[in-house]
Amino acid sequence: MNNNSIRVAIAGAGGRMGRQLINAVLQIEGVILGAAFEHTGSSLLGVDAGELAGLGKLNIRVTDQLEQEKDQFDVLIDFTRPEGTLNYLAFCVENHKNMIIGTTGFSDSQKEMIAQAAKNIGIVFAANYSIGVNLVLKLLEKAAKIMGDYSDIEIIEAHHRHKVDAPSGTALAMGESIADTLNIKLADHAVYCREGHTGERPKGAIGFATIRAGDIVGEHTAIFADIGERVEISHKASSRMTFANGAVRAAIWLSAQPTGLYDMRDVLGLNTL
Ligand X SMILES: NC(=O)C1=CN([C@@H]2O[C@H](COP(=O)(O)OP(=O)(O)OC[C@H]3O[C@@H](n4cnc5c(N)ncnc54)[C@H](OP(=O)(O)O)[C@@H]3O)[C@@H](O)[C@H]2O)C=CC1
- Candidates 97, 159, 189, 220; catalytic one: 159
- Least spacing, CB of residue 246 vs ligand LZUJQKHR, in Å: 10
Closest to ligand X by CB, 6 or 100: 100
Residues flagged as binding site = 12-17, 38, 102-104, 126-129, 160, 169-170
- Candidates 119, 162, 163, 185; catalytic one: 163
Taking CB under 6 A as the binding criterion, the range among 61-69, 162-170, 221-229, 257-265 that sits at the site for ligand LZUJQKHR is 162-170
84 counts as binding ligand LZUJQKHR under rule CB under 6 A: no
134 counts as binding ligand LZUJQKHR under rule CB under 6 A: no
Compute the residue count for the chain: 273
**Residue 159 binds which entry of ligand X, ligand LZUJQKHR, none, with Cβ cut-offs from 5 to 8 Å by kind?**
ligand LZUJQKHR
Contact 103, 84 (CB under 8 A): yes
85 counts as binding ligand LZUJQKHR under rule CB under 6 A: no
Cβ-closest residue to ligand LZUJQKHR?
Answer: 218
Q: Which one of 60, 124, 127, 233 is in contact with ligand LZUJQKHR (CB under 6 A)?
A: 127
Q: If DSSP states are collapsed to H, E and C, what string results for the chain?
A: CCCCCEEEEEECCCCHHHHHHHHHHHHCCCEEEEEEECCCCCCCCCCEHHHHCCCCCCCCEEECCHHHHHHHCCEEEECCCHHHHHHHHHHHHHCCCEEEECCCCCCHHHHHHHHHHCCCCEEEECCCCCHHHHHHHHHHHHHHHHHCCCCEEEEEEEECCCCCCCCCHHHHHHHHHHHHHCCCCHHHHEECCCCCCCCCCCCCCEEEEEEECCCCCEEEEEEEEECCEEEEEEEEECCCHHHHHHHHHHHHHHCCCCCEEECHHHHCCCCCC
- Least spacing, CB of residue 105 vs ligand LZUJQKHR, in Å: 7
Distance CA 258, CA 147 (A): 37
197 given a catalytic annotation: no
12 counts as binding ligand LZUJQKHR under rule CB under 6 A: no
163 given a catalytic annotation: yes
Closest to ligand LZUJQKHR by CB, 244 or 251: 244
Closest to ligand X by CB, 42 or 210: 42
Active-site residue list: 159, 163
Binding site for ligand LZUJQKHR (CB under 6 A): 104, 127-128, 159, 163, 168-170, 218
